[in-house]
Amino acid sequence: MDKDLAYVLVGEEQIYQRVEELGKLITRDYEGKEPLFVGILKGSFIFMADLVRAIELHSQMDFMAVSSYGNKSVTTGAVKIQKDLSEDIEGQDVIIVEDILDSGVTLSYLTKYLCNRNPASIRIVTLLDKPSRRIADVTADYVGFEVPDAFVVGYGLDYAQKYRSLPYIGVLKPEIYTD
């Protein structure tokens, strides 16, 4: 897999330290509350597992599968909910856990979709933020790392279901994802 990468953008130790910092921030901000973490599958599962272990609060977890990419390297613009929440979120403090905030199309749609279920609050935590690609008006409340406009994989992020298991974030060589 490493031969498909141009370079490592965020190392394993950097990720570990930043996830710990995010855990402390969320613990502080939600003191006395029991937030519901909503992981967006499949990309967020590794980040979410490490994040909730870094948070010193009772919490709940649920997952959604939402996509606007399919196996493409750019968004199609059409958001598809493949798996909805299992639990009612009315009155809950919801924290959406995402691997990367890129165009913002998916998170913008998802935030509006979940607001219709009357949660007490909705906030977003993302491992990576790529503001140069934003086309929808959405920002994360907690950000691990801001990244440049490059195709990134690893630590849960994929290209065509590959590279998720890398313990760091790498930049994929363009010849891997272009025809």
Question: According to the model, what pLDDT value does residue 171 have?
Answer: 97
Question: According to the model, what pLDDT value does residue 177 have?
Answer: 87
Low-confidence ranges of the chain (pLDDT < 50): none
Question: According to the model, what pLDDT value does residue 179 have?
Answer: 61
Question: According to the model, what pLDDT value does residue 70 have?
Answer: 53
Q: Of 120, 105, 116, which is closest to residue 67 (Cα–Cα)?
A: 105
Question: According to the model, what pLDDT value does residue 74 have?
Answer: 57
Contact of 157 with 173, CB cutoff 8 Å: no
Predicted TM-score of the model (pTM):
0.92
Question: According to the model, what pLDDT value does residue 76 have?
Answer: 57
Instruction: Spot the catalytic one: 50, 102, 129, 158.
Output: 102
Contact of 91 with 119, CB cutoff 8 Å: yes
Distant-in-sequence, close-in-space partners of 40: CB < 8 Å, separation ≥ 6? 63, 64, 65, 66, 96, 97, 98, 99, 106, 110
Strand-pair partners of 121:
93
Say whether 129 is catalytic: no
Question: According to the model, what pLDDT value does residue 73 have?
Answer: 53
Question: According to the model, what pLDDT value does residue 67 have?
Answer: 74
Half-sphere exposure of 19 (CA within 13 A, CB side): 23
Per residue in 41-53, pLDDT (tens digit) is 999 999 999 999 9
